[in-house]
Structure 1
């Protein structure tokens, strides 16, 4: 294995925009959920006339679908991802809408009852009232969410125990919030998945990409922690963590409060 400084410097310079994780090939692995979200998305999109993909990142997951509906819209808030999504998706006729930070819970900049299908892969924070608002009556939400305690073995290595945060993103709680917004849950599946990091560069790149895991992360700030983890990886061959995911399918079954947003 290459020296600590070489691995860290390389990872610190690498591009982390978009949702392309191919930089980690051969350096980290993550088990995939059994339901195959990309396949489900590809099967569902051609069956509708209009769809919205929320928190699309750089559009990489959506772009895997061979057929898109006649009207396809995506939202994204991080400017580098907005630019990547436009470059990737506009040639396919997709409308890319720059939205507010999902944490702000601002309304989607889209009209009421606009879409037969709303999708999302790993939304930052599901805005259930807005999802229900932009769905047509009888429309469907299909998404893969990050679950509770995901990758917390790695996160807590840097930040220490976080018992309260571990309980966030609970699928049953989210199902209740969806129901309160006017959506009926028709499918809810969960999975706990194996993750493995084979060198410290993979850890650095991942923490730079998933900035919400260790919000104050920089190599300089955590250099001693990184050195200790590097020694652990070299001694044991890898660092093991676990991600959690849940598949959510919900349908708009009752009227919701209108809040017409600008086009």
Structure 2
């Protein structure tokens, strides 16, 4: 994008923003245009190891089912546990159902922020996984079997703080932090086994990639519209690549 005229730049970015929508949990449109550092841990490996030990598994906030399908593909044939996925974002539900149907995994509508009670019986699940998904610690503890495990990786509420500073948005979830998560899990009667946090960099190749990301994740800067920020977008455009700060944490916990 080479527009030197701010009005032309904003018009072009507005068109990008309007044409971009998320399907499932697919960021392929940003391949080569967004790079990000990764935490030193391997959350997928943690989940895979836990799945191999479990008989019953719930994947909270499965998105379009992409991640869960990839985990199931890595299990030896005939060894997969009984798995149920949940998803709270309505556009994702049919995508997840279609992707997970070949694995025999049902997708249950569930949003912890709207109705925290999980749709599962007491002490009925060996493993609950939540990657970048809200959860209620007391509900997780309720549905876990004795000796059951909970694994979560979360986007810290201070993630991508630069975007909120640049575009005038409030932190939506300032309470999502490792210390709060750990305290909530312990209050629910779980024993926290692992608790780590990490900060790193994400880089957008240019301002068009940044606007694409904001369109894909409208919750990052709620109500974002390019037309409302011509000066800031022009400044970012002149600077070339755009760097922002990622913040992540993980917890694993077990029932007695």
Which TM-score bucket, shorter chain as reference? 0.7 to 0.9
- CA contact under 8 A between 1:38 and 1:64: conserved in structure 2? no
Alignment match, 2:28: 22
C-alpha displacement of 1:47: 2.1
Alignment match, 1:261: none
Counterpart-to-counterpart distance in 2, 1:182 and 1:61? 29
Alignment match, 1:141: 150
Root-mean-square deviation (CA, aligned residues, Å) is 2.0
1:215-237: CA deviations, max 9, x gaps?
222x3xx4141x33432233222
Given the two structures, how large is their TM-score scaled by the length of structure 2?
0.88
1:66-119: CA deviations, max 9, x gaps?
2273300111111111111101111111121111x3222431112111111100
Unaligned runs of 5+ in 1: 254-263
Given the two structures, how large is their TM-score scaled by the length of structure 1?
0.85
Q: Which runs of 4+ in 1 moved over 4 A?
A: 164-167
Counterpart-to-counterpart distance in 1, 2:253 and 2:153? 12
- Tell me which of 236, 239, 243 is aligned to 2:242: 239
Counterpart-to-counterpart distance in 2, 1:136 and 1:175? 20
Q: Mean Cα displacement is larger for which, 81-90 or 5-14?
A: 5-14
Counterpart-to-counterpart distance in 2, 1:113 and 1:170? 27
- CA contact under 8 A between 2:87 and 2:108: conserved in structure 1? yes
Unaligned runs of 5+ in 2: 4-8
C-alpha displacement of 1:210: 2.2
Counterpart-to-counterpart distance in 2, 1:180 and 1:50? 24
C-alpha displacement of 1:213: 2.0
Residues 1:38 and 2:44 are matched in the alignment: yes
Equivalenced residue count is 245
- Tell me which of 205, 209, 224 is aligned to 2:212: 205
Q: Mean Cα displacement is larger for which, 1-10 or 133-142?
A: 1-10
Alignment match, 1:230: 233
